[in-house]
Amino acid sequence: MTASLPDLRVREQLHESITATAEDIAVLLRGGADPAARIPDSEWTVGEAAAHLVVANELMAELAAGADRPYGDGTAGSLAAANVDSLAAFTERSPEVLAEAVATHARAFVEAAAGRHPGTPMMTPLGPMDLDTLGSYLLTHMLGHGWDLARALGRPHMADRRRVEFCMPFLTTVMPRVVDPGTAGGLTARYTLGLKGGGPRFTAAFEAGVLTVTPGAAHRPDCTIITEPVTFLLIALGRCSPWTALARGKIYAWGRRPRLAPAFPTYFRAP
């Protein structure tokens, strides 16, 4: 399922969020960032994470322009290997140089995408999706690594409700592709998911471990989960524990089987 970004103004706002997020990341890197500083809970340094963002932004800009650029096969292992190979090939680690490149490639994506139909099919590192969903993918990827950089540098992050809303088309598209059969195998359950504060809800229905995601609330859901927007993004990207979020009142869950709520993130393996 590909969630839609239907009208021109919404698309413009997506593109504005992409360029603004890239510039926020660039500001972090220009502010005297130490490229050798470690990213918390990661094997990467600040310089390596920023270099990865440059590689990824350039890749997505080229995809938006119509290039065929394979990058792994969509599995977590292949993407990890592609990341290692790309960082070995791209050795720049100067924060100032990387700052400019992150922003430049984000602008290149927007320029390429603006001239093409939003429904243009793309083959991406996480499988087929349309051009606007690729833009949502790019934004999600930058927000995840931008969060990492902000933590490492002790600076405010750039994720907010509006930007997370633009991540939803990608997240709902890719969700069935990253199900972990080791934890979700055999599961049959129907969830309604949504963001705290309003906005569209969607259904995540497991049938014997196979997930289908559709727009709108589920009919007779086993569990409804409403999550504070930034927390939703961080859990989806493996940056936040659902147990911690529950304890802090960032997640609200109810329904016939409310105990299904904390387990939901464990059914997925973020690439």
| Tens digit of pLDDT at every position of the chain (271 positions) | 344 445 889 999 999 999 999 999 999 999 889 999 999 999 999 999 999 999 999 999 999 999 999 998 888 889 999 999 999 999 999 999 999 999 999 999 999 999 999 999 999 999 999 999 999 999 999 999 999 999 999 999 999 999 999 999 999 999 999 999 999 999 999 999 999 998 899 999 999 999 999 999 999 999 999 999 999 999 999 999 988 998 899 999 999 998 899 899 999 987 7
Domain CATH for 190: 3.30.1050.10
In a domain, 2, yes or no: no
Contact 172, 47 (CB under 8 A): no
Quick one: 147 and 183 in the same domain?
no
Last residue of a domain, one of 147, 169, 191: 169
Global confidence as pTM = 0.95
Quick one: 165 and 239 in the same domain?
no
Rounded CA-CA distance 124/74 in Å is: 8
Quick one: 184 and 158 in the same domain?
no
Quick one: 125 and 199 in the same domain?
no
